[in-house]
Amino acid sequence: MVSRESREDTIIFKSGKGFYFGLIMSFVCFIALLAVCCVSVDDTTRFTLCLVLVLLSFVINVGFGKYGFYVSFVLSFMQLLIHSYEFLVLGKEGSVYLAIITLLVIIINVVHKIYLNGVLKKIYSRRKIESAERARAINKQLEDDIFARTKLISSHETEKKSSHPTLMIDPAIDTLTTLPGRAMITDRLNRLIEEDLARMQRSAVPDSACNGMTIIYFSLDEISLAKFNIGHKSMDLFIQNMAHRIREAADPADMVARIYGTEFVVLAKRLMTAEEITEYKHKLTEAMKGAFTADNEFIDIRFDFGIAVYPEDGTSAEELITKAEEAMTGKINYGGVATHKSAFTGMASSEIITMFEDAIRTGDLTMMYQPCYRADGRLTGFEAFMRWRTETHEIYPNDFIRAAVKSGYMRRIGNFSLETALDALASINKINSLLTMNINISNDQLRDPGFITEFSNALSNSGAELGNVILDISEESLFTELPEIKSTIEKLSSMGANMALDNFGRGYSSFNAIPLLPISTLKLDGNFTRDLLSDINVRVLSSAAISLMHDIDITVCATGVGDAKQLELLKQYGCDYFQGNVLGAPVNEFELEILVRK
């Protein structure tokens, strides 16, 4: 959290120091002029000084908000008492006019204050009504989206159609497309494997072969996904359209499922040759491209595919789907040539865990800290993230995060990140007690029932202030695992932890769930604003996102800001905080304190 030292209830003085300095100097000036007025014997001089005091009293009342009103009232009342004493006791006849003028000033200041309070009350009341109306509109939009989803058929298998003529929505169904989700296709694949193994055991033919199956995992590639740069629900329509076209293009006997985002899986209950797979991939690609085509116009997009085969690549659903996903992300296609091989390809979980442990021990896996600044250039805090560098190369975050999830090591590196970042926060808060630290929290940690206790213990051991901790929740969590992690997010918020929605705009985003969560900050992904200067659509969407978040009292932080012109444009839109190399590059733990002391 960032301290707000500016005052919004004053007209002239906005900063805290300027406000108090100006108020004190006005008070001293008033007392000095009043003293001169009292000792002066010339009526013209006294009358002139009285008018100056009247003007100064009004300036104090108007320029210093409610505190100015109290100070001006006290000073004017003291002036009234002095002039009344001069007329009634000392017999100065001219003092009666000065007393009347002072009394009129007091009345004017009181009336002005009452009128101003009335106007401000109406303004605040109107703003509150408008904010409530916007919140209701957002909630209504969420309800409309839920009930207006296209009714897609969840399975192409004819036996399922006959036994389940009516589509039953359950947690295994993807709510956006009503295709099967990861849980359903995993369960279906496991049952098919069990049936095949049971068949071989009952077979009278010795060493009978498995009935092969092919798993095709595919998605929009990262470059195509980044082209959209949108933070609104229109991407939902593209995905619904894609789902419909994939279902129509797929073989009726194959099962189509949506994993999340733009990632889909086709389960074919047969072995396919390389030629058949190439032909199938082309058919699916052409179908999906249709979702991004209108008349003679189209968006140039590409897709990544990954293939896994049962039983060669695995004998369980999770193993097969993971292998297909790794093949897709590593661009190692069935029958093709590897163009980018993951550092963890082919490793068993135990080998991956050993590799992680060695990296932490040797310091290859370390924490880095990205500075965060306000629009006025003031440093407000840092975002902590992991970087894995060896002597010869760097392992990309997406690569080692996927490996951590696959090997069940995500909790361990998540806790390593949390504990290290909290220690760094405690260290920099000894220099500047207002600086914050954004710490990324994974879905694995949020799903863990013991995470609340682990977080509390890490916070206590580090000595860091809870109010300076901001937990970054990935935007993807809203679409994949929100029901599972929402209660943990709410518990963390009730403890006093600040929450930020990270990666907003990476791929596609929706505003719908944001008002339903205890989020105080929205972090625009670098892909969201990368084309800010060249694309008018991105500018309009960025401005709208910032405006909408401000309407529901959520601050906005733009990440990945790499251009001075981009920075200035985001400032014009009202963006609150900024991260990026144009302001400051990430620093390691040794450079962190040096930067803070600067």
Over the stretch 111-162, which tens digit does the pLDDT of each residue have? 877 877 777 677 767 766 766 666 565 555 544 443 443 333 333 333 333 3
Strands 394-395 and 379-389: antiparallel
Bridge partners (DSSP) listed for residue 6: 15
- Distances in Å between the Cα of 534 and the Cα atoms of 231, 232, 301, 506, 540 are 17, 20, 19, 18, 12
Per-residue confidence (pLDDT) for residue 392, from 0 to 100: 78
Tell me the average pLDDT across 177-201. Answer: 85
Contacts of 535 (CB under 8 A, 6+ apart): 229
Q: Is the pLDDT of residue 335 over 50?
A: no
Higher pLDDT, 492 or 528: 492
Helix-strand-coil split of the chain, %, nearest 5: 55, 15, 30
Mean pLDDT (the chain, rounded): 79
pLDDT band at 579 (very low <50, low <70, confident <90, very high): very high
* Strand residue runs (E) in 174-251: 213-220
Q: Is the pLDDT of residue 184 over 80?
A: yes
Pairwise CA distance, residues 175 & 240, whole Å: 10
Q: Is the pLDDT of residue 301 over 90?
A: no
Q: Is the pLDDT of residue 567 over 80?
A: yes
Contacts of 245 (CB under 8 A, 6+ apart): 287, 288, 290, 291
- Rounded to 10°, the helix 536-551/564-572 angle is 40
- What are the extents of the domains in the chain? 16-124, 167-329, 353-597
Sign of CA dihedral 226, 227, 233, 237: negative
Q: What is the pLDDT of residues 420-445, one digit of tens each?
A: 999 999 999 999 999 999 999 887 78
Q: What is the pLDDT of residues 350-397, one digit of tens each?
A: 888 889 999 888 889 999 999 999 988 899 999 999 999 887 778 878
- Distances in Å between the Cα of 8 and the Cα atoms of 16, 61, 81, 555 are 10, 15, 34, 17
* CATH 3.40.50.720 applies to domain 353-597: no
Pairwise CA distance, residues 110 & 407, whole Å: 71
Q: Is the pLDDT of residue 461 over 50?
A: yes
Cis peptide before 311 (omega within 30 of 0): yes
Q: How far is CA 25 from the centre of its chain?
A: 44
Strands 521-524 and 498-504: parallel
Architecture of the domain made up of 167-329: 2-Layer Sandwich (3.30)
* Type of residue found at 83: H
Higher pLDDT, 172 or 363: 363
Per-residue confidence (pLDDT) for residue 346, from 0 to 100: 65
Tell me the average pLDDT across 202-223. Answer: 75
pLDDT band at 406 (very low <50, low <70, confident <90, very high): confident
Contacts of 565 (CB under 8 A, 6+ apart): 533
- Distances in Å between the Cα of 79 and the Cα atoms of 46, 71, 104, 533, 543 are 12, 12, 12, 60, 52
Q: Is the pLDDT of residue 169 over 70?
A: no
* Type of residue found at 355: M
pLDDT band at 464 (very low <50, low <70, confident <90, very high): very high
Helix (H, G, I), strand (E, B) or coil at 231: coil
Write out 69-132 in H/E/C secondary structure: HHHHHHHHHHHHHHHHHHHHCCCCCCHHHHHHHHHHHHHHHHHHHHHHHHHHHHHHHHHHHHHH
Pairwise CA distance, residues 465 & 452, whole Å: 16
Q: Is the pLDDT of residue 171 over 60?
A: no
Bridge partners (DSSP) listed for residue 217: 265, 306
Pairwise CA distance, residues 277 & 229, whole Å: 31
Cβ(501)–Cβ(475) under 8 Å?
yes
Higher pLDDT, 306 or 220: 306
Q: Is the pLDDT of residue 94 over 80?
A: no
